[in-house]
Structure 1
């Protein structure tokens, strides 16, 4: 489970960062695609936080997503 949780965390970080970059450069609008990146990122970062018992991170990412 450890490697899966770590991969989940990296996927989440990349998803949130990709959504931010794409939106900031005007390549996507603030609609469904942007929200999809945020939802994917928040969900996978929450999995990583759960694995590491990082409950503030889990709470933030569940609220964010």
Structure 2
């Protein structure tokens, strides 16, 4: 039996940058939802890499922020 999940995954880069992804998935378990979100993130990154420019729908820029 599947359920609706909101899955958030993030990839941390060596320089401290972070790529976050949020996906709504139908899955049989928490682990299944994680795997589906991870696969979707990979597909999205591939798609965006092939575009000349990326449309940004939401942004947040902070002045004077420091890495943790």
Category of TM-score, reference length = shorter chain: 0.3 to 0.5
Structure with max Cα Rg: 2
Give the TM-score, by structure 2 length: 0.38
Give the TM-score, by structure 1 length: 0.39
Which structure has more RCO (C-alpha within 8 Å, separation ≥ 6)? 1
Quick check: which one's helix share is greater?
A: 1
Quick check: which one's strand share is greater?
A: 2
